[in-house]
Amino acid sequence: MNLVDSSILCHAIDLLCTLLKKTKNHMSEEYNKVIDVFPALLKYVLKTEDMFLLLHGTSALRTFIHIGH
């Protein structure tokens, strides 16, 4: 059973990664909101069998860790 369309989730993950990389002020409220959304999206990735989405999720997790969270 698919919970979310994987192509939409891939684009959402890409967008969040871009926002994480481009945000200069890591103390802003907007940045913290992006950080809060990230783990919820990665929970969906864990429930999928789509290899493309799993690769995107792995890349996003690497970005998330690299940024310092």
Residue 10: predicted pLDDT: 84
CA-based Rg of the chain, rounded to a whole angstrom?
A: 12
Check whether 69 has a pLDDT greater than 70. Answer: no
Q: What is the pLDDT of residues 3-61, one digit of tens each?
A: 567 778 888 888 888 888 888 888 888 888 888 888 888 888 888 888 888 888 888 88
Check whether 68 has a pLDDT greater than 80. Answer: no
**Burial of residue 60, with CB atoms counted within 10 A of its CB: 0-12 exposed, 13-18 middle, 19 or more buried:** buried
Chain centre to alpha carbon of residue 23: 15
Find the farthest-apart pair of alpha carbons in the chain and give their distance in angstroms, rounded: 39
Domain spans in the chain, listed from the N-terminal domain onward: 6-67
